[in-house]
C-alpha cells in the first residue's frame, strides 16, 4: 500500500517511530496475557492440575466458578491500576506511570510462573492486571498527544496490534519543555514553521480552557457532558457486544464443541487478525472512524445471530461445527476491525486537553467494570448446572451488538485528520455530532484563536500567544 507507506514517511520521524514501537510492545504484553490464559485454560495439563474429572465430557475440566473467577477477578486489579495509573500520569507524568506499571508486570510474572495452586494463579493475574490498567490509561493518551493529526488514528491503532507529552507539559505551564518535546517528534518531517503553527494551536486552545487539571464534576458539565457520553459509550460498547466469549473463553468453547482443532484455529485467527488490524489502521486516517465501526458492528451482530441459530441444532454434525468455528473467526475479525482499536482512538481524542486524563481514567474504570460483569457471567450462561445455553448464547449478545451499531451510526463524531485543538473547538461551539463531517482540517480554528488565547468567564485565563511564541 504505497499511500500507507507515504503517509508514514511524510509524518513519522525516528523519535516518533521509536516511541510508537515501544508503546506497541507494551500492548503486546496484554495480548500475550489473553493468549496465554485463553489457551492455557483449555490445555489438558492445566485442567488436570487445577480442575476435576468431568464424567460427561470424559476429561478433566475447570469448574465454571473458577473459570469465572480466573477471567473476571482480574479486573479488580485492573480498576486499581486504572485509578492509580491515572493519578500518577496526571501528577507525575507519563514516564513515572511507565516505570510503576513495569514493576507490577515483573512481580506478577514471577508469581504466575511459580504458581502451584489456584489462589496463587488468581493473585498473579490480579497483580498483572494492575499493570494492564495503568497501561490502559497511559499509553493511548500519550500516543494521541505525540501523533500528528494525519496519522493519529494509525498511531493509536498500534495499541491494538516517548517519555514526555507536549500537551501535558503545556497544561502545567512548562512551555519551553513542551516546545522541545513537540520538536523532537516532528523534526525532519515538518518545517520549523509547521512545528510553530502546531505549537501555537496547542498553546491557544489550552490557554482558553485550562488553568489546572480537570475534575470528575466537570465531566458532566457544559460541553464536556456530550464528550464524556461519547467516550463512555465507546468504552461500554467494546465489552457488552460479547467479545469476551471469544477473547476469554474462545479456545475452551471450541474445544467443548469437538470441532476443528481449537489451538490450530487460534493460530489461524491470530494471523488473520494481524492483517485485519493493519487494514483498519490504514483506513482510520483515510475514511475515518465511523465506517470501520459500522462495518465491524454489523459483522458482530450478524455472526452472533447465526451462532445462536446453529446452537439450536441438536446433535450438530461436522458441518455445523465447522460453520460455528468459522463464524467465531468472522466475528472476531469484525471486532478487531472496528471497536477493538477505535475505542482507544475515541477515548484519547474526544476529551479536551484539560479533561483528557480524568475522562480516560473514569471511562477506563467503567469499561473494566463492564468487562468484569460480562466475563464473570459467561461461564454461568454457557454451562450446566446453570443456564447451559451453549452456542445459544449468541441470542443474548446479538441484540446488544446491534445497539452498539446504532451508537456507532448516531453517537460517534467523525474526527479524521482533525487536530486535538480543532476537536476542542468544534465541541465548544456545540457543533452537532452529525455535522463534524462538514469541516476540514486547517479551516476550523478562528483567526482570533491563532492570535491570542480565548478568554471566557470560568474557563481559564487568557494568554498572549505572541509572548509565548517568542520565548
Question: For residue range 139-192, what is the model confidence (pLDDT) as tens digits?
Answer: 777 776 667 766 666 666 555 542 227 454 555 566 776 677 767 666 766 677
Q: Given pLDDT bands bounded at 50, 70 and 90, which one contains residue 467? A: very low
Instruction: Determine the pLDDT at residue 412.
Output: 95
Can you read off the three cell numbers belonging to residue 334? Answer: 469484525
Of 44-48, 118-122, 240-244, 433-437, give the lowest mean pLDDT range. 44-48
The mean pLDDT of 81-91, rounded to a whole number, is 84
The mean pLDDT of 34-40, rounded to a whole number, is 73
Instruction: Determine the pLDDT at residue 471.
Output: 34
Whether the per-residue pLDDT at 4 is higher than 50: the answer is no
Of 78-82, 292-296, 452-456, give the lowest mean pLDDT range. 452-456
Whether the per-residue pLDDT at 225 is higher than 90: the answer is yes
Beta bridge partners of 187: 190
Instruction: Determine the pLDDT at residue 211.
Output: 46
- Measured between alpha carbons, how far is 135 from 425 in angstroms, rounded to an integer? 28
Q: Given pLDDT bands bounded at 50, 70 and 90, which one contains residue 12? A: low
- Measured between alpha carbons, how far is 357 from 364 in angstroms, rounded to an integer? 10
Can you read off the three cell numbers belonging to residue 358? Answer: 480524568
Distance between the two ends of the chain, CA-based, in angstroms? 42
Question: Is 234 buried (19+), middle (13-18) or exposed (0-12) by CB count in 10 A?
Answer: buried
Instruction: Determine the pLDDT at residue 401.
Output: 95
Three-state SS at 190: strand
For cell 473463553, what's the residue?
249
- CATH of 2-423, picked from 1.20.1180.10, 1.20.1250.20, 3.40.50.2300, 3.40.1160.10, is 1.20.1250.20
**Positive or negative, the Cα torsion across 262, 267, 273, 276?**
negative
The mean pLDDT of 441-464, rounded to a whole number, is 51
Kindly compute the dihedral angle of the four CA atoms of residues 183, 186, 191, 195, in this order, to the nearest 10 degrees: -50
- Measured between alpha carbons, how far is 393 from 327 in angstroms, rounded to an integer? 14
- Stronger pLDDT, 201 or 442, i.e. the higher one: 442
Instruction: Determine the pLDDT at residue 327.
Output: 95
Instruction: Determine the pLDDT at residue 29.
Output: 67
Instruction: Determine the pLDDT at residue 396.
Output: 96
Reduce the secondary structure of 396-415 to three states and give it as a string: HHHHHHHHHHHHHHHCCCCC
For cell 523532537, what's the residue?
184
Instruction: Determine the pLDDT at residue 454.
Output: 39
The mean pLDDT of 246-269, rounded to a whole number, is 85
- Stronger pLDDT, 441 or 24, i.e. the higher one: 441
- Measured between alpha carbons, how far is 278 from 247 in angstroms, rounded to an integer? 19
Beta bridge partners of 201: none
Whether the per-residue pLDDT at 453 is higher than 60: the answer is no
Contact call for residues 300 and 331 (beta carbons, < 8 A):
yes
Q: Mean pLDDT score of the chain, rounded to an integer?
A: 80
| Nearest Cα residue to 153 out of 280, 16, 11 | 280
Q: Angle of helix 250-257 relative to helix 14-40, nearest 10 degrees?
A: 40
The mean pLDDT of 199-225, rounded to a whole number, is 72
Instruction: Determine the pLDDT at residue 433.
Output: 92
Whether the per-residue pLDDT at 273 is higher than 80: the answer is yes
Contact call for residues 148 and 11 (beta carbons, < 8 A):
yes
- 61 — phi, psi (to 5°)? -145, 155
- Domain chopping of the chain, boundaries: 2-423
Kindly compute the dihedral angle of the four CA atoms of residues 454, 456, 461, 465, in this order, to the nearest 10 degrees: 10
- Stronger pLDDT, 196 or 470, i.e. the higher one: 196
Instruction: Determine the pLDDT at residue 321.
Output: 92
Instruction: Determine the pLDDT at residue 294.
Output: 95
- Measured between alpha carbons, how far is 284 from 297 in angstroms, rounded to an integer? 16
Whether the per-residue pLDDT at 36 is higher than 90: the answer is no
- Measured between alpha carbons, how far is 367 from 373 in angstroms, rounded to an integer? 10
| Nearest Cα residue to 168 out of 436, 355, 439 | 355
Of 32-41, 232-241, 308-317, give the lowest mean pLDDT range. 32-41
Residues 6+ apart with CB under 8 A from 9: none
Residues 6+ apart with CB under 8 A from 277: 157, 160, 161, 336, 337, 340, 341
For the chain, give the number of residues: 471
Of 20-34, 53-67, 299-313, 437-451, give the lowest mean pLDDT range. 20-34
Beta bridge partners of 59: 54
Report CA 330 to chain centroid distance, whole Å.
Answer: 20
- Measured between alpha carbons, how far is 404 from 301 in angstroms, rounded to an integer? 9
- Measured between alpha carbons, how far is 11 from 21 in angstroms, rounded to an integer? 15
Three-state SS at 311: coil
Exposure pattern of 337-367 as b/e (b: 16+ CB <10 Å)?
bbbbbbbbbbbbbbbbbbbbbbbbbbbbbbb
**Positive or negative, the Cα torsion across 319, 298, 335, 314?**
negative
Whether the per-residue pLDDT at 5 is higher than 60: the answer is no
Q: Angle of helix 262-284 relative to helix 14-40, nearest 10 degrees?
A: 150
Beta bridge partners of 60: 53
- pLDDT tens for 401-436 read 999 999 999 999 998 888 888 998 999 999 999 999
Share of the chain above pLDDT 90, in %: 26
Share of the chain above pLDDT 70, in %: 76
Whether the per-residue pLDDT at 343 is higher than 90: the answer is no
- 187 — phi, psi (to 5°)? -55, 135
For the beta carbon of residue 91, count every other beta carbon within 10 angstroms: 12
Amino acid at each position: 500500500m504505497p499511500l500507507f507507506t507515504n503517509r508514514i514517511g511524510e509524518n513519522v520521524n525516528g523519535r516518533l517511530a521509536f516511541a510508537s514501537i515501544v508503546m506497541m510492545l507494551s500492548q503486546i504484553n496484554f495480548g500475550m496475557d489473553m493468549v496465554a490464559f485463553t489457551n492455557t485454560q483449555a490445555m489438558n495439563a492445566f485442567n488436570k492440575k487445577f480442575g476435576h474429572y468431568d464424567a460427561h465430557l470424559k476429561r478433566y475440566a475447570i469448574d465454571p466458578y473458577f473459570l469465572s473467577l480466573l477471567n473476571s477477578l482480574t479486573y479488580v486489579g485492573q480498576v486499581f491500576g486504572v485509578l492509580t495509573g491515572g493519578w500518577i500520569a496526571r501528577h507525575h507524568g507519563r514516564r513515572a506511570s511507565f516505570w510503576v506499571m513495569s514493576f507490577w508486570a515483573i512481580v506478577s510474572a514471577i508469581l504466575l510462573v511459580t504458581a502451584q495452586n489456584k489462589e496463587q494463579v488468581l493473585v498473579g493475574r490480579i497483580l498483572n492486571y494492575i499493570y494492564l490498567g495503568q497501561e490502559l490509561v497511559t499509553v493511548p493518551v500519550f500516543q494521541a498527544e505525540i501523533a500528528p493529526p494525519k496519522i493519529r488514528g494509525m498511531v493509536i491503532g498500534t495499541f491494538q496490534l516517548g517519555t514526555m507529552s507536549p500537551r501535558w507539559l503545556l497544561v502545567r505551564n512548562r512551555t519551553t519543555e513542551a516546545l522541545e518535546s513537540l520538536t523532537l517528534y516532528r523534526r525532519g518531517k515538518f518545517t520549523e514553521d509547521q512545528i510553530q503553527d502546531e505549537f501555537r494551536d496547542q498553546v491557544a486552545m489550552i490557554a482558553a480552557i485550562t488553568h489546572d487539571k480537570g475534575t470528575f464534576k466537570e465531566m458532566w458539565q457544559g460541553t464536556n457532558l456530550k464528550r464524556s457520553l461519547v467516550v463512555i459509550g465507546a468504552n461500554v460498547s467494546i465489552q457488552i457486544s460479547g467479545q469476551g466469549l471469544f477473547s476469554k473463553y474462545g479456545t475452551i468453547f471450541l474445544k467443548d464443541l469437538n470441532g476443528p482443532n481449537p489451538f490450530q484455529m487460534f493460530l489461524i485467527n491470530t494471523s488473520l487478525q494481524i492483517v485485519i488490524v493493519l487494514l483498519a489502521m490504514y483506513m482510520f486516517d483515510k475514511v475515518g472512524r465511523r465506517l470501520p465501526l459500522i462495518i465491524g458492528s454489523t459483522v458482530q451482530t450478524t455472526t452472533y445471530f447465526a451462532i445462536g441459530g446453529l446452537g439450536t441444532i441438536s446433535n450438530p454434525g461436522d458441518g455445523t461445527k465447522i460453520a460455528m468455528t468459522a463464524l467465531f473467526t468472522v466475528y472476531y475479525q469484525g471486532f478487531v476491525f472496528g471497536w477493538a482499536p477505535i475505542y482507544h482512538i475515541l477515548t484519547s481524542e474526544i476529551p479536551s486537553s484539560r479533561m483528557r486524563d480524568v475522562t480516560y481514567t473514569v471511562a477506563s474504570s467503567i469499561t473494566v467494570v463492564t468487562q468484569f460483569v460480562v466475563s464473570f457471567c459467561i461461564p454461568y450462561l454457557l454451562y450446566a448446572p446453570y443456564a447451559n445455553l451453549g452456542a445459544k448464547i449468541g441470542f443474548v449478545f446479538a441484540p446488544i451488538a446491534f445497539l452498539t451499531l446504532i451508537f456507532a451510526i448516531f453517537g460517534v463524531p467523525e474526527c479524521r485528520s482533525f487536530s486535538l485543538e480543532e476537536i476542542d473547538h468544534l465541541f465548544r461551539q456545540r457543533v452537532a455530532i452529525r455535522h463534524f463531517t462538514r469541516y476540514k482540517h486547517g479551516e476550523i480554528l478562528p483567526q482570533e484563536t491563532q492570535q491570542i488565547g480565548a478568554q471566557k468567564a470560568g474557563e481559564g485565563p487568557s494568554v498572549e500567544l505572541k509572548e509565548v511564541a517568542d520565548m
